[in-house]
Structure 1
Amino acid sequence: MPPSSAEQRDQRGLGPALGLGPALAPALVIAVSLVVTVVLARIVAGAARTGVVTDPLVQVLLADVAVWIPLLAAVWWTVRGLPRSDVVLRLGLRFRVVDVFWAVAIAVFARAMDALLNLGVFGVTGLGPQLVLGDGPSPALLVLMVAGPVLVSPVVEELFFRGVLQRSLVRWFGGSDARPGVLAIAVGVLVSALVFAAMHLLIGSLTPASGLVTFGSTFLLGVLVGTLAATTGRIGGAILAHVLFNAIAVVLTWSS
């Protein structure tokens, strides 16, 4: 595949400045953003666990921002200086009506598999209404607890994992071919899904059992949305599937 304008710009920028090749510079940015994400998320979780941060609203906000900012920084670096039309092409940031069908199918299937995995490990699906003590969360906290996982996180994560990481992997492994082969696409889908699942595993304070469920569930979702993005050349369906996947959990676990 011929280098895009963004890749040509990378060769004139960070890569040569650090003595890196055109593929190593974006790989370094992606790796650093992931490490920073995990480190910040674990710091925030530790601060909440030890009582350094006690306000639930601040805890949730910091936990979200710790993930969003590093990932968005990598997305910004990838498309910096590009006109809007090239940003859309570089990230595959497009959507068609047919994507709705696949997004719904993926979300329902992935959530059902998550419930079965929970059932096999814990004996429950994990989708029942949660017990609320006292007066429950404040309205502001409720908004953040819904908007974060349902509206913001799916967009940020799909921009990074399917828009940047997966597409970069396909370009790197596809070589100079105008149309990458099945192997390059498979590597892009599987590796980005593995990294997606690993990030969710590492940023959570999880037991081995819950870690297994989290990793398995997010890896499956990553493979499904990655395959959709690779097949269609668009990440709009992947974003919607991720939104619906999280929304199903929020709705089914909502306190009655």
Structure 2
Amino acid sequence: MSSTAPRTSNNRRVRWGLPDAIAGLALAIVLVWAVSWAATRGWPASPELRSALAYLAAWAPLLGAVLVASYLRGRRSLVRDFGLRFHWIDLFFGLVVGGMMRAATTLVEIVLYGRVASGGPTFGPVVYDVWWVLFTILAPVLAAPLIEELFFRGLLQRSLMRASLANASPALRTSTLPAVVAIIVTSIVFAAVHMLQTDGGIDMVVVGISTLMVGVGTGVLAATTGRLGAGIIAHITYNGLIITWSLL
């Protein structure tokens, strides 16, 4: 009879990294392009269903990459692998940083648009039904912050940190440079993904600058606190303020 103790989630060797993040990101880009291509040809006919497919195409690969990385190549815990936890102080940090990010992007919109942009999907005249709740409240304000922070600040940013520290010198390991580089690279990727979902022109510039600032703000929170809670709250605050303004 073997006396070897079963391996628990606490002592499982972490093997996830950049390949997991790249695979999820690449699949998301391909699926989003495919859904957009189909939409230009009138399929599906329902605009609500097109929006649902667009969200699913973007989020399913990102969330799938996180879950696969954690369950198959990590500790099987989103808390231990990616820092998905909250402290009460995260509410304060998140509200403050989220408000600051929204104020900064408002200035960008005023400079480039000449006005504050409105947000939220519309399907002609507003009808306050289940689709409105799903696409105006649940998707952008709750689902997007959770899924995007898990992937970008959880999997991607931490993978970049692990890659940069793998063969780093003792001096580099104690410096802030790996964290700074990881935050910047993750923020650029985060902004680029959102820019791909625009029609180009000035919208692409505004979205690029805005999401870059969101990426830096939430990335700094994740790196300094060691958890995703504050960044998720900041992301919720940011998106929530956009939706609130559009409803006024």
TM-score range, shorter chain: 0.7 to 0.9
Distance in structure 2 (CA, Å) of the matches to 1:179 and 1:100: 30
Secondary structure at the aligned position of 1:148 is classed as helix
Q: CA deviation at 1:128?
A: 8.1
Q: Are 1:212 and 2:205 counterparts?
A: yes
Aligned to 2:132: 142
Q: Any residues of structure 2 matched to 1:57-136 within 5 Å, and which? A: 57-81=48-72, 86-127=77-118, 133-134=124-125, 136=126
For 2:92, the aligned partner's letter is: F
Matched residue pairs, number?
234
User: Closer, same or farther in 2 for the Cα pair 1:222/1:140, shift >3 Å?
Assistant: same
Instruction: Select the residue among 175, 181, 187 that pairs with 1:187.
Output: 181
- How far, CA to CA, are the matches of 1:77 and 1:243 in structure 2? 25
Report % sequence identity.
33
Normalised to the residue count of structure 2, the TM-score between the two structures is 0.86
Contact 1:61 1:144 in 2 (8 A): no
State yes or no: 1:45 paired with 2:47: no
Q: 2:24 aligns with which of 18, 21, 33?
A: 33
- Find the residue that maps to 2:43 and give its secondary structure: coil
C-alpha contact (below 8 Å) 1:75/1:164 kept by paired residues: yes
**Structure 2: 5+ residue runs without aligned partners?**
1-9
TM-score w.r.t. length of structure 1:
0.83
What residue in structure 2 maps to residue 226 of structure 1?
219
Deviation at 1:137, TM superposition (A): 3.6
- Quote the Cα distance in structure 2 between the aligned partners of 1:210 and 1:98: 35
CA distance in 2, matches of 1:83, 1:183: 27
> Does the Cα contact within 8 Å between 2:47 and 2:123 map onto a contact in 1?
no
**2:3 maps to which residue?**
none
Residue type of the alignment partner of 1:68: W
Gap change, CA 1:187 and 1:253, over 3 Å in 2:
same
1: CA distance between counterparts of 2:114 and 2:91?
32
Deviations 1:40-79 (A, max 9, x none): 1122223223312221221111011011111011101221
Residue type matched to 1:50 in 2? R
Work out the CA distance in 1 between the residues paired with 2:121 and 2:154: 34
Tell me how far 1:180 sits from its aligned partner.
5.1
Q: Which residue of 2 aligns with 1:175?
A: 166
Residue deviations 1:122-176 (CA, integer Å, cap 9, x gap): 1111148999844x34612102112111111110000000111111111111236
The structure-2 alpha-carbon separation of the partners of 1:220 and 1:128, relative to structure 1 and needing over 3 Å to count, comes to closer
RMSD: 2.5
